[in-house]
Amino acid sequence: RQDATTDYYEVTQKVATQEILPGHTTAIWGYEGTFPGPTLVSRSGRRTVVRHRNALPVPAVVHLHGGRTPSASDGYPTDLIVPDGFTGPLPHHDHQAGLAHGSRIYEYPLQQRAATLWYHDHRMDFTGASVWRGLAGFHLVHDDEEEALPLPRGDRDIPLMITDRAFDADGSFRYPATDPTLLHTPGVRPDYVEGVLGDVILVNGAPWPVLEVDAARYRLRIVNASNARRYRLELAPQPAGGGALVQIGSDGGLLATPRAHDAIVLAPAERFDVVVDFSRYRVGEEITLANRLGSGTTAAVMRFRIARRATDDSVVPARLSPIERLDPARATATRTFAFRDQGDEGWTINGRPFDPMRADATPRLGALEVWRFTSDFHHPVHLHLVHFQVLSRNGEAPGPYDAGWKDTIDLSPGEEVAIITRFTGYRGRFVFHCHNLEHEDMAMMANFEVV
Ligand code: C2O
Ligand code: CU
Ligand code: CU
């Protein structure tokens, strides 16, 4: 439904079954009962209102990842949608938007450029378990600037949500953290403390799918929606001359100029928008989207089969979208956050586990700030509300996958990364956290309050 200013969606989260592995049914928690959930579509600058109904057996929180969203609709981890009839314990925290019963209305102003966003569960302590069961979907934002470009569109613009999952013999999802609160019980160090991995790679909910393509350019909007797995994606074989993955966008939309890669590395929650020209292959050829960080069953993600010759009037323009360079000399604050394993405290930021009651940073509305992250492990660091630019890695230039506006950064062991962002948009409390969902559930999360 829509009116002059707003697009409306209604989404019900429910238990459903889906045939994921051939011949088996898997119980899922799905938006509208599907995994991934329905792809929502918005226009930049036009409000989208989503009523999320919770018909699951547990409370839920919905977060639009990459959305510039007021705090009350951002899916703060304690802003639960409590299902009708729920009698279990509820947290006693200071809620940002309060508990909602049955359903909650989320308002998204979407004052932001075209980008590939995704929505997923964000319940405090339970995000990993909920997303694993299926609570994730795409939310695409379009704008005029992007539509004016001659990029591949229609059937040749394909969102790909990559996840890994483990299954029991009967086809049900296997998630080892049956009681996720164990993840941050002092003295308990479960063996999945580094994050939960699966041995089956799913793309849009299907294991190692095969996509028939024309010998033409395709735009692939790739999100790594895995709980904890990183990927290094590469086409195998590479076409003669390499550079097959032409990156046109990242988390926050189009890059200034395209960048050709042989491979791309995606940490959890990162998005890479790439154009692949399948006319560089022969009709009948089959190409694997390989994962060079995997082995055995996780070494392949999906395949493309070149089905036929086709006309193609798409182009990847040499200039995509201008990006204003943020200047660190103008920053008014620099903050440092150490992402560390503190033993019994679990995964922490600056030595402290998440506390919804504590503001860990208080940037002023409109302030330009430099944030430095240090790390002991792989931690995909994600900020809500804002997009940022990467200034440096270990004091050197940003890496090959850091271009454009980011909302999640792949932080490696021993690394120090500096980013810069401007806290525009909305006042209020927002989280930033490690997007390894088990680390997040083990309290590797903190608050910034825009004042
Ligand atoms: Cu995609 Cu706070 O998360
Ligand atoms: Cu987010
Ligand atoms: Cu982490």
Residue-wise pLDDT tens digits, 364-413 = 999 999 999 999 999 999 999 999 999 999 999 999 999 999 999 999 99
Judged against a pLDDT cut of 70, whether residue 179 lies above it is answered with no
Question: Of the candidates 28, 86, 82, which has an alpha carbon nearest to the alpha carbon of residue 59?
Answer: 82
Cα 205 from Cα 33, distance rounded (Å): 12
Structure tokens at 148: 């004016």
Give CATH superfamily name and number for 6-145.
Answer: Cupredoxins -  blue copper proteins (2.60.40.420)
- Ligand 3 ion: nearby residues, β-carbon < 5 Å: 379, 434, 436, 439
- Bridge partners of 112, per DSSP, are none
In this prediction, residues 418-434 reach a mean pLDDT of: 98
- Bridge partners of 64, per DSSP, are 119
Q: How far does Cα 334 stand from its chain's mean position?
A: 26
> Which ligand 1 atom is the nearest neighbour of the CA of 120?
1
- Whole-model pTM over 0.95: yes
Q: How confident is the model at residue 159 (pLDDT cuts 50, 70, 90)?
A: very high
Q: How far does Cα 337 stand from its chain's mean position?
A: 21
Distance 256 CA to ligand 1 centre (A): 25
Question: Of the candidates 81, 179, 68, which has an alpha carbon nearest to the alpha carbon of residue 123?
Answer: 81
Q: Count CA within 13 A, CB hemisphere, residue 422.
A: 10
Fold match flag (6-145 vs 328-450)? yes
In degrees and rounded to multiples of 5, residue 324 shows phi and psi of -70, 125
Distance 170 CA to ligand 2 centre (A): 33
In degrees and rounded to multiples of 5, residue 196 shows phi and psi of -95, 130
Q: Which residue has the higher pLDDT, 321 or 91?
A: 321
> Which ligand 1 atom is the nearest neighbour of the CA of 66?
1
- In the prediction, which pLDDT does 128 show? 95
Alpha carbon separation from 81 to 35, 292, 438 (Å, rounded): 20, 39, 21
**Is any ligand 1 atom within 6 A of the Cβ of residue 433?**
yes
Q: Count CA within 13 A, CB hemisphere, residue 41.
A: 5
Condensed to tens digits (0 to 9), the pLDDT of residues 71-86 reads: 999 999 999 999 999 9
Protein residue with least CA distance to atom 1, ligand 1: 65
Distance 167 CA to ligand 2 centre (A): 27
Q: Nearest bound ligand to CA 387?
A: 2
Question: 178-201 burial, b for 16+ CB within 10 Å, e for fewer?
Answer: eebebbbeeeeebebbebbbbebb
Q: Count CA within 13 A, CB hemisphere, residue 312.
A: 25
> Which ligand 1 atom is the nearest neighbour of the CA of 65?
1
Q: Would strands 157-165 and 263-266 be described as parallel, antiparallel, or unpaired? A: unpaired
- In the prediction, which pLDDT does 384 show? 98
In degrees and rounded to multiples of 5, residue 248 shows phi and psi of -115, -15
Q: Which CATH number fits domain 328-450: 2.60.40.420, 1.10.1040.10, 3.10.20.30, 3.40.190.10?
A: 2.60.40.420
Distance 286 CA to ligand 1 centre (A): 35
Q: How confident is the model at residue 92 (pLDDT cuts 50, 70, 90)?
A: confident
**Is any ligand 1 atom within 6 A of the Cβ of residue 439?**
no
**CATH class of residue range 154-309:** mainly beta
- In the prediction, which pLDDT does 180 show? 61
Condensed to tens digits (0 to 9), the pLDDT of residues 107-135 reads: 999 999 999 999 999 999 999 999 999 99
Condensed to tens digits (0 to 9), the pLDDT of residues 145-154 reads: 999 999 999 9
Cα 246 from Cα 255, distance rounded (Å): 11
- In the prediction, which pLDDT does 182 show? 66
Structure tokens at 420: 């810069």
Query: Mean pLDDT over all residues of the chain?
Result: 95
> 83 near 58, Cβ under 8 Å?
yes
Which residue carries 């379009």 as its tokens?
142
Burial class (CB in 10 A: 0-12, 13-18, 19+), 246: middle
Q: How confident is the model at residue 275 (pLDDT cuts 50, 70, 90)?
A: very high
- Bridge partners of 55, per DSSP, are none
- In the prediction, which pLDDT does 193 show? 82
Domain ranges of the chain: 6-145, 154-309, 328-450
> Which ligand 1 atom is the nearest neighbour of the CA of 433?
2
- In the prediction, which pLDDT does 345 show? 76
Distance 441 CA to ligand 3 centre (A): 10
Which residue carries 């809620």 as its tokens?
95
Question: Of the candidates 345, 344, 430, 357, which has an alpha carbon nearest to the alpha carbon of residue 387?
Answer: 430
pLDDT above 70 covers what percent of the chain?
97
**Is any ligand 1 atom within 6 A of the Cβ of residue 122?**
yes
**Is any ligand 1 atom within 6 A of the Cβ of residue 123?**
no
Structure tokens at 379: 């931690």
The helix (run of H) or strand (run of E) holding residue 328 is: none
pLDDT above 90 covers what percent of the chain?
91
- In the prediction, which pLDDT does 102 show? 97
> DSSP string of 248-294?
EEETTEEEEEEEEESEEEE-TT-EEEEEEEGGGS-TT-EEEEEETT-
Condensed to tens digits (0 to 9), the pLDDT of residues 183-238 reads: 666 677 777 888 999 999 999 999 999 999 999 999 999 999 999 999 999 999 99
The helix (run of H) or strand (run of E) holding residue 441 is: helix 437-441
The helix (run of H) or strand (run of E) holding residue 231 is: strand 231-236
Judged against a pLDDT cut of 90, whether residue 93 lies above it is answered with no
Q: How confident is the model at residue 181 (pLDDT cuts 50, 70, 90)?
A: low
Protein residue with least CA distance to atom 3, ligand 1: 65
Q: Nearest bound ligand to CA 267?
A: 3
Judged against a pLDDT cut of 90, whether residue 343 lies above it is answered with no
Question: Of the candidates 28, 90, 94, 105, which has an alpha carbon nearest to the alpha carbon of residue 59?
Answer: 90
> Which ligand 1 atom is the nearest neighbour of the CA of 431?
2
Cα 155 from Cα 153, distance rounded (Å): 6
Distance 64 CA to ligand 2 centre (A): 6
- In the prediction, which pLDDT does 91 show? 75
Cα 67 from Cα 252, distance rounded (Å): 9
Q: Nearest bound ligand to CA 440?
A: 3
In this prediction, residues 245-257 reach a mean pLDDT of: 98
